[in-house]
Chains A and B, each alone.
Chain A
Amino acid sequence: MAKQLMRGSHVLGEAAVRAGCRYYFGYPITPQNEVPEYMSSRMLQVGGTFVQAESELASINMVIGAAMAGARVMTSSSSPGISLMQEGISYLAGLELPAVIVNVVRGGPGLGNIAPAQSDYFQATRGGGHGDYRTIVLAPDSCQELCDLTFKAFDLADKYRNPVLIMGDGMMGQMMEPVEFPEPIDPASLPAKDWTLSGAKGRPSRVILSLLLNPKVLEDHNFKLVRKYDAVTREETDWEEYLLDDARQVVVAYGTAARIAKGAIKRVRQMGLKVGLLRPKTLWPFPEKPLKDLTRVVRQLLVFEMSAGQMVEDVKMAVEGQAQVHFYGRPGGVIPTPDEVAHQISHYYYQAGLMEGDKPSKRHGGVA
């Protein structure tokens, strides 16, 4: 199939449909209105169901219903709307239901603004709702990856019976890039699920509930979830390494910020600075091990986020004090240019004395 030039929001919708999603429930909010716009017409073509719900609460509860019945289902919203869905997401996790939830992040807190931001990292990776649970969080950085990770999101959701969050931002939603879509999946060809509530005729009835009043029973359930989360961490952690081979300083960034950081790295490389990028593609599970391994040779990290500093905490935990972790953040919906980020990179690079000949050490910019 020929490449198509499509905006991120439409890519998301098309990828979901091709991945077998036949149910979309949502409530409008900028900057992701192009997702329901696309789904409203596309679902008609494929015989799916599109409902513009009366609220985000209604949307997420419709998602719970469709997931219980065994369908591939998706909802999308932006920051304040995702906040409203947290109760439902907690239920999805507790009930062990597969669903894909898309957050096209905008500036916050509160109503904030409609500009691109990464300020919902904590909410996404810490659960966001109540209770001991995790959501798998995917962070694409291009329209093609948005397509690929949307496919992956549905597969992961089904594989682990867990909600999967796709973290985009206003820029990812609006940006157009060439995309090549995989062949569509026929929902009927997907593996059968043996736990759905699809009518008990001819078989014993099933129950899916999250009210487990006996603490011992709930503890068992919680530990079962923990074992599942451990498996996800082992199997599904994903990241990209960019120019790491000779790097003396490594930038850690995801999504849109990673794209800008790559531009900045290209610039400073021309000046002879040996800088690379580690880009988490899964925010949870977080790529702790590759970061820790990196500290054997790299002692200078710069975390760049379009927030006041959230992922930086995970980076610090991952490196366990074995590297200096600097931070540059632009919250509030500001999109810094590659030039601005390049200034930050070179500032910390020179400060640590990483230029050739500065310090003949295997461990660059050591903190010992």
Chain B
Amino acid sequence: MTNKMIFAGFGGQGVLLMGYLTALTAMRQGKNVTYLPSYGAEVRGGTANCTVVISDDEIASPVASSPDYVVVMNNPSLVRFANMVAPGGILLINSSLVHSEIKRDDITVVPVPINELAHELGEDRSANVVMVGALAEATGVLSIEALKEALAETGLGKKPKVLELNRRALDIGAENARQALAKEKSA
């Protein structure tokens, strides 16, 4: 089983950290992983994305032609990546910032208003962690428990208070993804 995913947004949204947390957690679960960040003459506010591959087998290519899952944090990323999602794949969008219509009916779209959710949690900067929670829930590629454990190894959980906050962010993301999926099914 091999899952390829792309995280995309603008610089400052914690896009690369989302990918890193996902890859690190999968590695701790005994999976093979690759994490490939885009890089260039980057600026804050410019585009950022990274590709993560998680597999039970040796990973051939760290580059994804058609990722199974795409996480889109802002509108320009939607334009660039929405068409790349593999048929049957899952597209998670930050519905706080992404409002364009998605014209594909062969994929599952999971909208999560992560900026509002993070704000309610009391820490705007945890929006990316909320999204990782949503990704785990919607795809089943990682368990929330495994993510919570791996948090401490990243910069997202060095202080107990921050760790606790980010663990709650994961739960909130998962809960909202569950709701969004239930809504999609009933629609």
* A contact residues vs B (CB 8 Å cutoff): 3, 5, 31, 114-115, 170-171, 174-178, 259-260, 262-266, 335-340
The digit string for B15-38, where 1 denotes a CB below 8 A from any CB of A, is 000001001100100001111110
Question: Known: A5-B27, A114-B41. Is A175-B35 also a contact (CB below 8 A)?
Answer: yes
- The docked-state distance in angstroms from the alpha carbon of A163 to that of B136 is 48
> Which one, B24, B27, B32, B61, contacts A263 given CB within 8 A?
B61
Q: Identify the closest chain A residue to B150 (Cβ).
A: A5
27 A-B interface contacts by CB (under 8 A): A5-B20, A5-B27, A31-B39, A114-B39, A170-B39, A171-B36, A171-B62, A174-B37, A174-B39, A175-B34, A176-B35, A176-B36, A176-B37, A177-B33, A178-B32, A178-B33, A260-B63, A262-B61, A263-B63, A263-B65, A265-B60, A335-B63, A337-B61, A337-B63, A337-B65, A338-B60, A338-B63
Interface assignment of B66: CB less than 8 Å from any CB of chain A: yes
Chain A residues near B24 (CB-CB < 8 A): 5
Q: Identify the closest chain B residue to A262 (Cβ).
A: B60
- The docked-state distance in angstroms from the alpha carbon of A260 to that of B53 is 13
Question: Known: A5-B27, A177-B34. Is A338-B39 also a contact (CB below 8 A)?
Answer: no
Interface assignment of B162: CB less than 8 Å from any CB of chain A: no
Q: How many A-B residue pairs have CB under 8 A?
A: 64
Contact B62 A259 (CB under 8 A): yes
Q: Identify the closest chain A residue to B31 (Cβ).
A: A178
> Most chain-A Cβ atoms within 10 A of its Cβ — which of B20, B23, B34?
B34
Chain B residues near A260 (CB-CB < 8 A): 61, 63
- The docked-state distance in angstroms from the alpha carbon of A259 to that of B64 is 11
Contact A339 B66 (CB under 8 A): yes
Chain A residues near B40 (CB-CB < 8 A): 114-115
- The docked-state distance in angstroms from the alpha carbon of A115 to that of B66 is 21
Q: Closest CB-CB distance, A154 to chain B, in whole Å?
A: 26
Chain B residues near A114 (CB-CB < 8 A): 39-41
Question: Known: A115-B40, A176-B23, A337-B65. Is A5-B35 also a contact (CB below 8 A)?
Answer: yes
- The docked-state distance in angstroms from the alpha carbon of A91 to that of B64 is 43
Contact A174 B36 (CB under 8 A): yes
Q: Closest CB-CB distance, A32 to chain B, in whole Å?
A: 12
> Most chain-B Cβ atoms within 10 A of its Cβ — which of A115, A170, A178?
A178
Contact A338 B27 (CB under 8 A): no
